[in-house]
Amino acid sequence: MLRFRNTLSGKVEEFHPMNEGEVRFYYCGPTVWEYGHIGNFRSAVAADIVRRYLKFKGYKVTHVMNITDVEDRIIAKSQEAGLSIDDYTAKYIDALWEDFDALGCERPEIVPRATRHIPEMVSLIEKLLETNHAYASDGSIYYRIASFPEYGKLSKINFAGNIAGASERIDTDKYEKEDARDFALWKEPANENEPAWDTAIGRGRPGWHIECSAMSMKYLGETFDIHAGGIDLVFPHHENEIAQSEGATGKQFVRYWIHFEHLKVEGETMSKSKGNYYTYRDLKAKGYSAAGIRYFLLSVPYNKQINLNFDVLAGAEKTVAGLRDFRARLNEAKTEPGMNEALHDIALRAAEEFEAGMDDDLNTSVALAVVHNLSREVNTALARKKVKEENKQELLELLKRIDTVLNIFGAESNEMLDSEIQSLIDERQEARRRRDFHRSDEIRDELASRGIILEDTKDGVRWRR
């Protein structure tokens, strides 16, 4: 039975979706004002694991990830560049998908963009105005936190003091908000050049929080199963989403909240505002592979902070290469018919332990340890020629199933047997003797595209994965 920590209750709970067999899942996705940094991808990969493991457990998953493509930084940057919001963000949205795919994340079923959902946000704000949860002030519209007594139930922050303190300030009439904690649902443009939409609630643009309430409820319903995001979003973003959604519908918004701990750099959260960040592209330029980075991100469970450490990252590179080597060796092992019972038991135990580890709050480090133990035991059996044909098929099947969740081995079709590699190397040598450098380069490129690196040494050609 799958269990994970629900931020709302603060407890590890058994997961039971609202409708049997299907899960509706929302993840707060990126703000596309820049390339995503590797901390953002820590959360994206963690969300990918939630998605993939739910599918492993047999659920039909509807996964929504929003793209925030209108907010203050995007407006400032697009204006600096003299571009429309769409033209400015296009480059970063393309880059997002490139990085997302490279890091082995499965694309969510629905990826709504904020700018494409202004009418949905406007009607949600209208509902909040009608029900007194919102008020207009100076051309903008704010959420009235005092109207939602449960405010703070997710973050467990007590706001009583703040609200009382704020009401004194209303008397002095210094603030356009009734309460310092009230937040903007709709913002009046500061000047004529700022992007704005003409709507029934006036000319303006949405505040950040409203998009996630409007888009999640549009695609997943007023109450849905799981909402996730980085730990920084618990307050205020997710607290505000609850206030907006439950204020408008009177129903529970989300049943389970999952928050991913941050990726840190030298003890500090990686963030663009701190400037201490690396993008996936930066790491790639330093020579790290997508598979190694994904492995590194999975090596620490989502509920613990992870430190970006280049030695550890280099270790992850080697580890993934070793695991891929192991599968290639198993794939090309010459086996005899039959089944080795002891090895069969090892496979069964590994399958059980993998699932038990993932069931226990999605513990990817336990899941990876299971894969390592298995590879050690099977490598030994391979060396002793103890792997029989039925074991081989069973083990390959098991690795494939585990990899539907972890996705660290990669596509088998892309994997080359040692014998295939050797025959291509021989063909390349032959081409070089004929001085057919076109063909010899072609072979080198084909091998490179499948992760095989050639080194020409004075003792002949060496290769490595």
- Asked whether the beta carbons of 111 and 54 are under 8 A apart, the reply is no
Piece of 18-26, 212-220, 266-274, 322-330 that binds ligand AMP (CB under 6 A) = 266-274
In the block, residue with structure tokens 């430190």: 307
Instruction: Confirm or reject binding of residue 299 to ligand AMP (CB under 6 A).
Output: no
Task: Say whether residue 47 binds Zn ion (CB under 5 A).
Answer: no
By CB under 6 A, name the one of 263, 328, 368, 374 that touches ligand AMP. 263
Query: Is 270 or 381 the residue whose CB approaches ligand AMP more closely?
Result: 270
Q: Which stretch binds ligand AMP (CB under 6 A): 84-92, 144-152, 187-195, 256-264?
A: 256-264
410 binds ligand AMP per the rule CB under 6 A: no
Comparing CA positions, the residue from 439, 421, 442 lying closest to residue 430 is: 439
Q: Tell whether residue 154 is a contact of Zn ion (CB under 5 A).
A: no
Among 4, 6, 30, 113, binds ligand AMP (CB under 6 A): 30
**With binding defined as CB under 6 A, does residue 236 bind ligand AMP?**
no
Is 408 near ligand AMP (CB under 6 A)? no
Q: Which is nearer to ligand AMP, 74 or 425 (CB)?
A: 74
Stretch that binds Zn ion, among 21-29, 74-82, 181-189, 344-352 (CB under 5 A): 21-29
CB closer to Zn ion, 212 vs 402: 212
Is there a contact between 177 and 134 (Cβ–Cβ < 8 Å)? no
Q: Is 141 in the site for Zn ion (CB under 5 A)?
A: no
Q: Which residue stretch of 75-83, 196-204, 257-265, 449-457 sits at the interface with ligand AMP (rule: CB under 6 A)?
A: 257-265
Calpha distance 125→247 (Å, rounded): 10
- Residue 297 interaction partner, one of Zn ion, ligand AMP, none, beta carbon < 5-8 Å per kind: none
Question: Min. distance of Cβ 464 from ligand AMP in angstroms?
Answer: 32
Measured CA to CA, the distance from residue 457 to residue 319 in angstroms comes to 26
Could you say whether residue 232 binds ligand AMP (CB under 6 A)? Answer: yes
Find the binder of ligand AMP among 31, 62, 319, 364 (CB under 6 A): 31
Phi/psi for 114 (5° steps) reads: -55, -45
Task: Give the tokens for residue 104.
Answer: 């082995």
Identified binder of Zn ion from the candidate list 8, 28, 215, 387, rule CB under 5 A: 28
Task: Tally Cβ neighbours within 10 Å of residue 464.
Answer: 10
Which of the listed partners (ligand AMP, Zn ion, none) does 31 bind, with a CB threshold of 5 to 8 Å by partner kind?
ligand AMP
Q: What's the rounded Cα separation, in Å, for the pair 66 and 68?
A: 6
Q: How many helices (H) and strands (E) does the chain have?
A: 15, 16
Binding region for Zn ion (CB under 5 A) out of 22-30, 118-126, 333-341, 419-427: 22-30
CB of 233 to ligand AMP, least distance (A): 5
* DSSP line for 312-372: HHHHHHHHHHHHHHHHHHHHH----SS--HHHHHHHHHHHHHHHHHHHBT--HHHHHHHHH
* SS3 (DSSP) at 306: strand
Angle formed by the axes of helices 389-406 and 341-359, nearest 10° = 10
User: At its nearest, how many Å lie between Zn ion and the CB of residue 190?
Assistant: 24
Residue 233 lies near ligand AMP (rule: CB under 6 A)? yes
Intra-chain end-to-end CA distance of the chain, in Å: 38
Give the phi and the psi of residue 138 in degrees, each rounded to 5.
55, 40
Give 380's strand partners.
none
The entry of ligand AMP, Zn ion, none that residue 292 binds, CB within 5 to 8 Å by partner kind: none
Select 257 or 260, whichever has its Cβ closest to ligand AMP: 260
Cβ proximity to Zn ion: between 229 and 410 the closer is: 229
Q: Going by C-beta distance under 8 Å and a sequence separation of 6 or more, which residues neighbour residue 217?
A: 124, 224, 245, 249, 253
Position 23 contacts Zn ion (CB under 5 A): no
The reply on whether position 184 binds Zn ion by CB under 5 A is no
229 binds ligand AMP (CB under 6 A): yes
Nearest to ligand AMP of 68, 340 (CB atom):
68
Buried b (16+ CB within 10 A) or exposed e, 330-339: bbebebeeee
Q: Count of CB atoms within 10 A of residue 368's CB?
A: 21
Rounded CA gap, 149 and 418, in Å?
Answer: 66
Q: Show contacts with Zn ion in window 197-236 (CB under 5 A).
A: 212
Peptide bond connecting 236 to the previous residue in cis, omega within 30 degrees of 0? yes
Position 313, amino acid: L
Q: Which does 212 bind (CB under 5 to 8 A by kind): ligand AMP, Zn ion, none?
A: Zn ion
**Among 17, 39, 112, 206, interactor with ligand AMP by CB under 6 A:** 39
Which positions lie near ligand AMP, rule CB under 6 A?
Answer: 28, 30-31, 39-40, 42-43, 68, 229-230, 232-233, 260, 262-263, 269-271
Interface residues with Zn ion (CB under 5 A)?
28, 212
